[in-house]
Amino acid sequence: MESGAVVVVELQRNSNKFAEIIEEIVKMKKKIFPEHESVARSFDEELRKNNSGLLYTMDAHGELVGYVMYIWPSSLSAFIAELAVKENHRRQGHGEALLKAAIQKCRTRNVHRISLHVDPLRIPAMGLYQKLGFQVDSLIKSYYSPDKDANRMYLDFDSN
């Protein structure tokens, strides 16, 4: 990988590295997300469905750096289920590259809207989503837990 370039890779279900990558992601998830914010219990199950995808980035040493999981429950909409970057690799373009790649994947499916949920206190995440055009739809009280709310955000595409 060239210095400074972020390469995004799509995880293929039939890849011989599938189990290894998933194991690394689950470890990473447990460190980054509080239990109430993670879909760790159903992560592998969700990825095995035909309407989900996972993109990831690695550093120059082959270490997993970040990932984004997206789901398209209908032909019209998609959902960013999770986006995470290891703390020591943040602010280096990994999150933005992952989100842009996920948006592009969703666009190829001709969805009209991508939505996501984010803790409003995660200021850097909110900034990234807004930078790429996501808008806050509403605050959902007690989304993650009784005392933890979420902003529902969306990105609409032109229909033409």
Global pTM value: 0.84
Residue 41, pLDDT score? 52
Tell me which H or E stretch contains 83: strand 77-85
Rg of the chain on CA atoms, in Å: 15
Residue 95, pLDDT score? 93
More confident residue, 12 or 105: 105
Domains along the chain with CATH numbers: 8-156 (3.40.630.30)
> Residue by residue, what is the 3-state secondary structure of 2-69?
CCCCCCEEECCCCCCCHHHHHHHHHHHHHHHCCHHHCCHHHHHHHHCCCCEEEEEEECCCCCEEEEEE
Residue 19, pLDDT score? 79
Residue 1, pLDDT score? 37
Total residue count of the chain as it appears in this document: 160
Share of the chain above pLDDT 70, in %: 86
Residue 37 has pLDDT above 60, yes or no: no
Q: Could you give phi then psi for residue 21, rounded to 5 degrees?
A: -65, -45
Integer angstrom CA distances of residue 4 from 65, 77, 89: 14, 33, 12
Say how far apart CA 25 and CA 20 lie, in whole Å: 9
Residue 2, pLDDT score? 40
- In this prediction, residue 9 has a pLDDT band, given cuts at 50, 70 and 90, of confident
* Mean pLDDT, rounded, for 84-111: 90
* Mean pLDDT, rounded, for 1-19: 72
Residue 158, pLDDT score? 72
Residue 159, pLDDT score? 55
- In this prediction, residue 141 has a pLDDT band, given cuts at 50, 70 and 90, of very high
Average pLDDT of the chain to the nearest whole number: 84
**Which residues are CB-contacts of 63 (< 8 A; sequence separation ≥ 6)?**
none
Residue 110, pLDDT score? 81
